[in-house]
């Protein structure tokens, strides 16, 4: 399975993002949890303190009403009237003046009721509730608690609906005693619902609260949001049947929709206040907190991404540049340099790389020089191998031509031999033009045609546009010599040697064809892989071409026994020995 290649830049970028994102997620989660706990604590403390403050005001208000009761129950005029009844010419307004005088400082004035023990003498600032007329005679309700209180004021939760639309939710009451300590009547102060609402409005928590006041029996004294529950017990079974009339228990609400519930117990009056914070508040706060954290995380992540990109580029760019330079060196360019100014490992890497390239360049120059020397030596050896045989045969031709009086042939042989010897002496150049190589071959063939009279014909077809291209020295002549010596020498027919040169898309292509005796595949393999005296230079030519230009160029021999041989030589186009 092929491995996926991930560039170093992306590896560094991903690593930096992970190293910054993971702690950010952990810290954000911790901050979220701590923030939620902190909000819970703040909301609880703020709500609890607000309710406590409201209860302090309510307790203070109840103390004021208790003082009103004390002032009225000890008033001699009221005691005398309740003890002896109303005398002739007695003005009842005196009693009312005393009552109103005690409550004149109250912003919302409570209902005050004064009655004798039999209930037939009543002084009241509001219409006397009928329940008091019955309860006082039978010692029920608040009057039962008053009789058991031994002279202490009683706080009695009850709902009384007045004709004016005002409701009282708590009543304070006490006995009125005569000089002998006997109970002669009662005084009851009904505290209106609005008085409690006025005090609860002072709660400045900034949070919508559902506030319910309950007594120790879970009797609903006050329900700010659901007044229909006032005067009912939270655990009453009939509430389930009255849901259609919007009777809703605070306990059910807490179960269904509650985020925070605060309970405050007022031991002074025996009232428990429950404040329920709905879950919608938490959802709003949670949404705000999540948005803040999300925006913060997005900003932080953006900054981290930007910094990660900069740092990753700072680290990876020198490596990428070094890889690019290494690619140029691989392609043979040794003049490039790694220009790193970093005072770190990357700077050291660039410095050592430059040293390596310089040494490699020096080594390659030495190798190239040695190869050039070797190639020159090989050419000289090839010529040395060629010249003794060729000179001997040529001198033999001159001798016999002279004896036969063939003056023109002698002149031609001597002239062409001089050209060949001059070319052999001037062998320092590794590359010669195509035209110069063809001139050398024509001189060589002119001598051979005189030697082998009428045994072969030569056809030379070289495109003129390739005359100036450079080719390695002595890459064509060995194949022509082998064609004459081994291909046509034993042939019974007139031999043909065709020399073609063409410009192809991938370089120069030369073909040398002879219609001689040909070769088998084994013979081709043998002369292509070994250097022998019988087939001089063939192996050297192929190796030299591959050494110069690469394995995609070289010599290809195609032959069949008794059908001739074709040699194809492929080299790239070059001028002055440099590839185009």
Whether 454 and 556 share a structural domain: yes
Residue closest to 528 by CA, chosen among 555, 565, 493, 499: 555
CA gap 543, 540 in Å, rounded: 5
* Residue 565 confidence (pLDDT): 92
Asked if residue 348 is part of any domain, the answer here is: no
Residue 191 is part of which domain span? 1-333
Q: Does one domain contain both 316 and 431?
A: no
Cβ atoms of residues 171 and 195 within 8 Å: no
For residues 47 and 209, the answer to whether their CB atoms sit within 8 Å is yes
Q: Is 130 helix (H, G, I), strand (E, B) or coil?
A: helix
Rounded to the nearest 5°, which phi and psi values hold at 359? -70, -40
Rounded Cα–Cα distance for residues 513 and 499 (Å)? 7
Residue 79 covered by a domain = yes
Which of 333, 355, 371 is the C-terminal boundary of a domain? Answer: 333
Q: Based on the fold, state whether residues 229 and 149 are members of the same structural domain.
A: yes
- Same structural domain for residues 410 and 525? yes
Question: Could you give the residue ranges of the DSSP H alpha helices within 467-508?
Answer: 477-482
Q: Are the beta carbons of 213 and 200 closer than 8 angstroms? A: no
Q: Is residue 574 part of a domain?
A: yes
CATH number, residue 435: 3.30.565.10
Identify the pLDDT of residue 241: 41
pTM exceeds 0.75 for this model: no
Q: Which three-class secondary structure string do you get for 234-265?
A: CCCCHHHHCHHHCCCCHHHHHHHCCCEEEEEE
Query: DSSP letter string over 448-476?
Result: HHHHSTTSEEEEEEE-GGGTTSEEETTSS
Same domain, 390 and 329: no
115 and 9, same structural domain? Answer: yes
CA distance 31 to 167: 48
The residue out of 333, 354, 378 marking a domain boundary is 333
Does 475 map to a domain? yes
Residue 154: which H helix or E strand, with range? strand 154-161
Of 333, 365, 394, which marks where a domain is finished? 333
Is 56 among the domain residues? yes
394 and 293 within one domain? no
> What is the C-alpha to C-alpha distance for residues 546 and 153, in angstroms, rounded to an integer?
124
pLDDT tens-digit profile, the chain (580 residues): 567 778 878 888 888 888 888 888 888 888 888 888 888 888 888 888 888 888 888 899 899 999 999 999 999 999 998 888 877 677 888 989 999 999 988 888 899 999 888 878 889 998 888 888 766 666 788 889 998 888 899 999 988 888 777 888 899 999 999 888 889 999 999 999 888 888 887 766 666 778 889 988 888 888 888 888 888 887 655 444 444 344 445 555 555 555 678 888 988 888 898 888 777 777 777 788 888 888 988 998 899 889 888 888 888 888 888 888 888 888 878 788 887 777 778 788 888 888 888 888 888 888 888 777 776 666 666 555 555 667 777 777 788 778 777 878 888 888 888 887 777 766 667 788 999 999 989 988 888 888 888 788 999 999 999 999 999 888 888 888 888 888 787 777 888 999 999 999 889 999 999 998 888 888 888 877 655 555 556 777 888 888 888 889 999 999 988 888 999 999 998 876 555 5
What is the model's pLDDT at position 563?
Answer: 86
108, 192 contact by CB (below 8 A): yes
Q: What's the rounded Cα separation, in Å, for the pair 236 and 293?
A: 46
**In this structure, is residue 372 part of a structural domain?**
no
Residue 365: inside a domain, yes or no? no
Do residues 204 and 284 both lie within one domain?
yes
- If one counts the domains in the chain, the total is 2
Q: How many helices (H) and strands (E) does the chain have?
A: 15, 18
- Strands 578-579 and 574-575 come out as antiparallel
- Tell me phi and psi for residue 171, to 5 degrees: -125, 140
pLDDT at 71: 92
Q: Comparing C-alpha atoms, which of 218, 219, 226, 231 is closest to residue 246?
A: 226
Alpha helices in 154-278 (DSSP H): 193-200, 238-241, 250-256
3-state secondary structure of 219: strand
Are 314 and 415 within one domain? no
Looking at beta carbons, which pairs linking 86-95 to residues 24 or more positions away fall under 8 Å? 86/121, 92/123, 95/123
Same domain, 97 and 241: yes
Same domain, 144 and 4: yes
361 is a domain residue = no
Q: Are residues 316 and 432 located together in one domain of the fold? A: no
Q: What is the CATH number of the domain that holds 315?
A: 3.30.450.20
């Amino acid at each position: 399975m092929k491995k996926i290649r991930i560039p170093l830049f992306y590896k560094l970028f991903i690593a930096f993002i992970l190293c910054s994102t993971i702690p950010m997620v952990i810290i954000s989660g911790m901050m979220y949890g701590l923030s939620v706990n902190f909000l819970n604590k703040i909301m609880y403390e703020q709500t609890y303190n607000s309710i406590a403050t409201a209860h302090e005001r309510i307790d203070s208000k109840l103390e004021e009403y208790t003082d009103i009761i004390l002032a009225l129950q000890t008033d001699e005029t009221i005691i005398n009237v309740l003890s002896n009844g109303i005398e002739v010419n007695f003005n009842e307004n005196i009693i009312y003046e005393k009552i109103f005088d005690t409550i004149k400082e109250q912003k919302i004035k409570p209902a005050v009721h004064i009655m004798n023990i039999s209930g037939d003498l009543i002084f009241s600032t509001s219409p006397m509730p009928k329940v008091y007329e019955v309860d006082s005679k039978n010692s029920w309700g608040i009057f039962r608690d008053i009789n058991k209180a031994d002279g202490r004021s009683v706080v009695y939760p009850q709902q009384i609906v007045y004709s004016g639309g005002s409701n009282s939710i708590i009543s304070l009451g006490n006995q009125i005693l005569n000089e002998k300590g006997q109970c002669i009547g009662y005084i009851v102060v009904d505290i209106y619902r609005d008085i409690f609402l006025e005090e609860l409005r002072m709660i400045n928590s900034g949070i919508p609260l559902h506030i319910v006041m309950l007594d120790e029996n879970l009797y609903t004294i006050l329900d700010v949001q659901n007044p229909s529950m006032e005067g009912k017990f939270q655990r009453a079974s009939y509430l389930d049947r009255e849901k259609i009339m919007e009777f809703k228990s605070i306990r059910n609400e807490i179960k269904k929709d509650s985020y925070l519930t605060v309970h405050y117990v007022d031991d002074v009056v025996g009232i428990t206040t429950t404040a329920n914070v709905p879950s919608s508040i938490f959802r709003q706060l949670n949404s705000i907190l999540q948005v803040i954290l999300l925006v913060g995380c997005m900003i932080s992540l953006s900054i981290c991404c930007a910094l990660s990109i900069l740092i990753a580029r700072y680290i990876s760019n020198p490596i990428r540049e070094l890889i690019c330079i290494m690619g140029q060196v691989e392609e043979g360019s040794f003049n490039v340099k790694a220009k790193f100014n970093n005072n770190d490992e990357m700077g050291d890497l660039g410095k050592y790389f430059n040293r390596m390239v310089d040494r490699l360049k020096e080594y390659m120059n030495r190798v190239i020089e040695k190869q050039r020397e070797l190639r020159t030596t090989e050419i000289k050896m090839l010529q040395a191998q060629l010249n003794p045989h060729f000179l001997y045969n040529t001198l033999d031709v001159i001798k016999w031509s002279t004896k036969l009086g063939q003056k023109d042939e002698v002149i031609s042989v001597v002239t062409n031999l001089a050209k060949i010897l001059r070319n052999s002496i001037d062998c320092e150049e590794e590359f010669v033009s195509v035209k110069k190589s063809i001139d050398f071959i024509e001189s060589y063939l002119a001598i051979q045609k005189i030697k082998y009279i009428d045994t072969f014909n030569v056809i030379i077809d070289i495109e003129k546009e390739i005359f100036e291209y450079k080719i390695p020295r002595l890459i064509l002549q060995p194949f022509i010599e082998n064609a004459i010596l081994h291909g046509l020498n034993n042939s019974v027919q007139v031999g043909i040697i065709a020399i073609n040169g063409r410009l192809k898309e991938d370089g120069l292509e030369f073909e040398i064809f002879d219609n001689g005796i040909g070769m088998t595949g084994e013979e081709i393999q043998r002369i292509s892989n070994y250097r022998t005296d019988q087939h001089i230079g063939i192996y050297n030519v192929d190796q030299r071409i591959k050494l110069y230009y690469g394995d995609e160029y070289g010599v290809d021999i195609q032959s069949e026994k008794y059908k001739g041989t074709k040699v194809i030589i492929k080299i790239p186009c070059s001028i002055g020995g440099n590839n185009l």
